[in-house]
A = this chain, B = another copy of it.
């Protein structure tokens, strides 16, 4: 079977990870998974929320949002409606949890990093692109914090790397990294967040039309694990470039 964009079932879309996209943020990335483009910034601030003060531990959190015309038809701004929708809440929480899975709070010290993931253009997989890009922004912000001596611990605050990908069953075939058109046709849709060493941080599978059996679930998990390994390699390559972001 050939996919609508010619990919094989286990192939990612073209992925780009551009660092240093903001002159203000301590870490910033424009990540694209095909036509999905997400702008991720990592804002480093000294201090932690009130409930964590005096603990000696840091905090990492995420916020996700779509620009109103990121999608094919314009959506109302949540700021104009005066409330955040359930989907936005859900994805923001997922981003925060995913990145906290590789943070050693003690090593981070009483510092806070907020990851803002704003979708400039959506074509399926915005949350997985967001997590994958946010990890790179986070790594840059932590490097910045160490260079400024705001992170004082001897050990590395990052205990691993994280990336995320979507998988789904379309017309009976498990596919990796669904684009929007595939996503709407999928019977089952799953988002998987993995560490660089191949363990799972989040597995969120939903039967959109037909419940799925264990065999299908296994096939999806296999595909996702492979996709995350590829993304992990792309993150490493992006972080290996000399170009450091210039936030002062």
Contacts and interface: CB of A to CB of B under 8 A. Distances in A.
B211 A221 contact: no
Contact of A86 (B72, B89, B122, B221): B89
B205 A67 contact: no
B83 A82 contact: yes
A31 B221 CA distance: 33
Contact of A205 (B79, B88, B202): B202
Interface in A1-35: 22-25, 28, 35
A114 B74 contact: yes
Contacts of A78: 79
A211 B101 contact: yes
Nearest to A78: B79
A231 to B, nearest CB: 15
User: For the complex formed by this chain, how many copies does it contain in all?
Assistant: 6
Given A24-B70, A41-B69, A63 B82 contact: no
Contacts of A195: 211
A190 B202 CA distance: 9
Interface residues of A, number: 66
A198 B74 CA distance: 33
A45 interface: yes
A11 to B, nearest CB: 21
A207 B101 contact: yes
B212 A199 contact: yes
Interface stretch (A90-98, A126-134, A233-241): A90-98
A22 B121 contact: yes
A88 B90 CA distance: 10
Interface string A188-225: 00100011011111111111000111100100010001
A55 to B, nearest CB: 16
A102 to B, nearest CB: 8
Contacts of A43: 68-69, 73-74
Interface in A35-53: 35, 39, 41, 43, 45
Closest 5 CB pairs of A and B: A199-B211, A86-B89, A78-B79, A41-B69, A43-B74
8 contacts: A24-B69, A41-B67, A86-B90, A86-B93, A199-B207, A200-B214, A201-B211, A204-B204
